[in-house]
Amino acid sequence: MADFLGMMKQAAQLQSKMKELQDELDRTEVEGAAGGGLVTVTLSAKGDLKGVKLDDSLMKPGETEILEDLLVAAHADARRKAEEVMQDKMKNLTGGLPLPPGMKLF
């Protein structure tokens, strides 16, 4: 019975730590860039889009396809960085316990 109570206590602590981690991931921002910095995208570490910056030189008629491609590339770059931040923070929380690829806790 003591083992069960100890496990319940550990589960409650883990739940509290997960909540703190989620809050931290909401506050942590990563930036992705494309086109040599002509387009930057800012995401939270959870992947929420926070901002987009476009260089004025991209605002030319007939260049919308280039701009669209750069936005997608910058978002992908930021998303990759957000995943790295999340994995690092999860590794700290789980004590290095490896999670199966693709497993998301959020």
Q: What CATH number does the domain containing 75 carry?
A: 3.30.1310.10
Within a domain: residue 5? no
Instruction: Answer whether residue 45 is part of any domain.
Output: yes
- The pLDDT value recorded for residue 9 is 80
* Residue 40, in any domain of the structure: yes
pLDDT, one tens digit per residue, over 1-60 is: 668 787 788 778 878 888 888 888 889 999 999 999 999 999 998 888 999 999 998 888
* Contact (CB, 8 A) for 39 and 33: yes
Please calculate the CA angle 14-20-23 and round it to the nearest 5 degrees.
140
Instruction: Assess if residue 6 is contained within a domain.
Output: no
Domain around 79: 28-83
The dihedral of CA 91, 93, 97, 98: what is its sign? negative
User: What 3-state class would DSSP assign to 62?
Assistant: coil
Q: Crossing angle of helices 2-27/64-93, nearest 10°?
A: 150
How far, rounded to the nearest angstrom, does the alpha carbon of residue 105 sit from its chain's CA centroid? 13
The domain tally of the chain equals: 1
State pTM to two decimals: 0.67
User: Does 55 reside within a domain?
Assistant: yes
